[in-house]
Structure 1
Amino acid sequence: MTVKIRQSFLTEAHSARLHEFLAADTIKLEKAELTADSIEQAHSLRTMLIAENKFVSWVLSYTAGKELSDLSDDFESVVLAYEHYQKAQGVLRNDSLISPLGLENLEDYERSLQLIGIAILINRWDLFERIVDLLDPGYRSEDALYEEIVGRIQSGRADLQEWYHDQPYRTLLDAIDAEDKQTAANLLRQYCKNWYRAFKSSPWHDSHLDIRQAGGIYFGYWAFEAGAVAYLYDMDDSHISHMVYPKDLVAYARNTRKPRDHG
């Protein structure tokens, strides 16, 4: 069966090379004695890096064209890695409820929404709940967009007018609050257009330019949260063709709806 790469920047050679590196690096991290001020700090660093590797590997597999049903099964290992990181952080900070990702930080915020968005789009409500359990202790009732997305599935969430990051997320909030379907669709499309430039300071930004180099880190640029919002709020995405919008994953969500659903 022919594999269809989902973003044109990716090559099979780069995908294979980066997958091999991530797998080898994860094995190395599991065994390595990392330099740190304490055993607890070293373990926290180890679990953080492993969680990062697991997430990047999953997204790379999606970008490379892996079957969505297989990706759904694979995603649990990503969530488990972040749970391990949370436990390690809890031991280090003496706080068992600490969140492994800080929503104040733009990159952590995006990672949090990506994790939630993926769980929603693969209809894995069990994993959705586990991700929310990782984030809620530190950030429940703190951010409007987070509460809107989680609140579409969980009742009793806060109705807020404050959020951590205006760019690019204000546009997605406006799409949710739009008075008509056409405005919502237009704002969703605008969000996808603005998404990439908002992360120009991130390490992965413009990484596709180094794809032919052995150390290239490009694994795909995806606004999974935009797809999750379109799915949860039944937005019209028929005219969205932007590369960061995971359109086939949204279609997969709509075609494989499970009993625990929105509405």
Structure 2
Amino acid sequence: MSRFEKNKRERFLNENSYNALMKGIASRLNRVEQLFYNELPKRSDAFRMYSQWSATISNEYFEQFVGQYSAGVPIEELGAKFTKVVEVSEADSLPHPVYKTEPFYLDEIDAYYRILALLSLAKLLRYDYLVPRIVELTNVAHDDNRGTDALYETLIDKLGLPSEPAPKVMSMLKAHPILLELTQAPPDKQPKLMAQFLKKWYGSMRGCYWHNRHKRVPQHFSGYWAFESGLVTYLWDIDDSSYRDLPFYPKDLVDYARTHDAVPEPEPDTGQSGTPQRPSIPAGQACPETGWWFTPAKADSRRYFKAGEVMPSIDSDYGETFWQWSPDQSPPKL
């Protein structure tokens, strides 16, 4: 048995297909991020293309992350990558000062799956400070999302965030009412209900973009995971011994959450005076303040940006591009 076969978590995943998937994602991300970060401000159709390209970037980073979990990448390594998954989701869905974005709508099955996955991953990876940021993705279209799904609001409440009354689970969801019932059931009934949910989950998600992808030739899928089953198991402290080996249950994430403390939220840098400094801005995000900025990715890179202008990526060996507020705010001398 190869190392890949030994380590993989997704039973349907094969090594050649996984390698092709990761290579394809990397290629698409490289191409689209170059367009998004470098070409967007120059285009006459930038208002429309921002939404299209940011959605592609968000989807590819998420698929890459799920694929790596399926392939058996260590949880600690995945955790270090998860912040990026959230950041590109925010760039795609939160309001932008210049360009058009598209919020999540929970009555769309793809969006419902993604939000529950992000919420579950944040908590199970113990990046607790990211949970409110993920909830904010649904608050953008507040009246369309909040108070529309009882399971989502129950999870929000259990996570310690303000919830809103909701009469029932979305009508499109066939298995999730079982999960809602579980949250209200006595502890001795919960494992059986979870097993019922897991056995029904995949078939009930017909219509989701990834459904039946493992049957394609060539295979093209990142893995099937009911991440919310792990979140509920963890939050309600359920004994999962009777269902932990069922398909779609992310047992490694639950085990990790139960044995690790929350990751501390990064603190903003402060100067010698103790006053907060302006944060570094990753390429692709809007400039938060008009002025002169520079990036360590390139020598003599000091440049003037207007608030709302997209800050570009620099092709260099330095790594990802982050723009920093320049101590020198004077215009260049002629």
TM range, smaller chain: 0.7 to 0.9
1:84 to 87, 91, 95: 91
Letter of the structure 1 residue corresponding to residue 189 of structure 2: T
SS in 2 for 1:71: helix
Task: Kindly provide the amino acid, as one letter, of the partner of residue 125 in structure 2.
Answer: I
Q: Deviations over 1:209-241 (max 9, x none)?
A: 12x51xx32110000011001100111211112
* Corresponding residue of 2:67: 60
Deviation of 1:140 after TM superposition, in Å, equals 2.8
Following the alignment from structure 1 to structure 2, what is the Cα–Cα distance between the partners of residues 136 and 217?
32
Per the TM alignment, residue 30 of structure 1 is displaced from its structure 2 partner at its CA by: 2.1
Q: Deviations over 1:103-160 (max 9, x none)?
A: 0111211111011011111010122121112212322333211111111122442243
Residue 238 of structure 2 aligns to a residue in which SS?
Answer: coil
* TM-aligned CA deviation for residue 20 of structure 1: 0.7
- CA displacement at 1:8 relative to structure 2: 1.9
- Work out whether residues 114 and 224 of structure 1, in 8 Å CA contact, stay in contact via their aligned partners in 2: yes
The aligned residue for residue 28 of structure 2 is 25
**Which shifted more, 99-108 or 239-248?**
99-108
Report the Cα distance in structure 2 between the residues aligned to 1:209 and 1:72, rounded to whole angstroms: 29
5+ unaligned residues in a row in structure 1: which ranges? none
Equivalent residues in 2 for 1:190-205, closer than 5 Å? 190-205=196-211
TM-score w.r.t. length of structure 1: 0.87
Structure 2 unaligned runs (5+)? Answer: 265-334
Distance 1:150 1:141, change over 3 A: same
Q: Is the 8 A contact 1:40 1:88 kept in 2?
A: no
CA gap 1:251/1:136 in 2 versus in 1, 3 angstroms:
same
Q: Which residue does the alignment assign to 2:258?
A: 254
Distance in 2, matches of 1:78 and 1:100, equals 16
CA positional deviation for 1:38: 3.6
Q: Which has the higher helix share?
A: 1
Deviation at 1:205, TM superposition (A): 1.4
Deviation at 1:29, TM superposition (A): 1.3
Give the match for residue 117 of structure 1.
120
> Paired residue for 1:134, among 137, 158, 163?
137
Q: Is the 8 A contact 1:43 1:88 kept in 2?
A: no
SS in 1 for 2:82: helix
Change (3 A) 1:13 1:39: same
- Describe the superposition over 1:15-67 as per-residue Cα deviations: whole angstroms up to 9, x where unpaired: 11100100110111123479x99421111010001100000000000000000
Which has the larger displacement, 24-33 or 120-129? 24-33
The answer as to 2:170 corresponding to 1:164 is yes
Residue number among 204, 209, 212 corresponding to 1:206 in the alignment? 212
Q: Greater relative contact order: 1 or 2 (C-alpha under 8 angstroms, separation 6 or more)?
A: 1
Question: Paired residue for 1:218, among 218, 221, 231?
Answer: 221
Take 2:199 and 2:44, find their aligned partners in 1: how far apart are those partners?
Answer: 43
Identity %: 30
Per-residue CA deviation, residues 187-228 of structure 1 (Å, 9 max, x unaligned), is 111111111001222332111112x51xx3211000001100
Matched to 2:157, the amino acid is G
Query: Which residue of 1 is the match for residue 151 of structure 2?
Result: 145
Contact between 2:117 and 2:228, CA under 8 Å: does it hold in 1? yes
Please say if residues 179 and 197 of structure 2, whose CA atoms lie closer than 8 Å, have aligned partners that are also in contact: yes
Contact 2:17 2:220 in 1 (8 A): no
Aligned partners of 2:21 and 2:263: how far apart in 1? Answer: 37
Question: Offset at 1:177?
Answer: 0.8
Cα distance change of structure 1 residues 140 and 88 upon mapping to structure 2, 3 Å threshold: closer
CA-atom RMSD in angstroms? 2.4
- More deviation in 43-52 or 164-173? 164-173
SS at match of 2:107: coil
In the alignment, which of 44, 47, 58 is matched to residue 51 of structure 2? Answer: 44
Deviation at 1:6, TM superposition (A): 0.4
Structure-2-length-normalised TM-score: 0.70
CA distance in 2, matches of 1:255, 1:27: 36
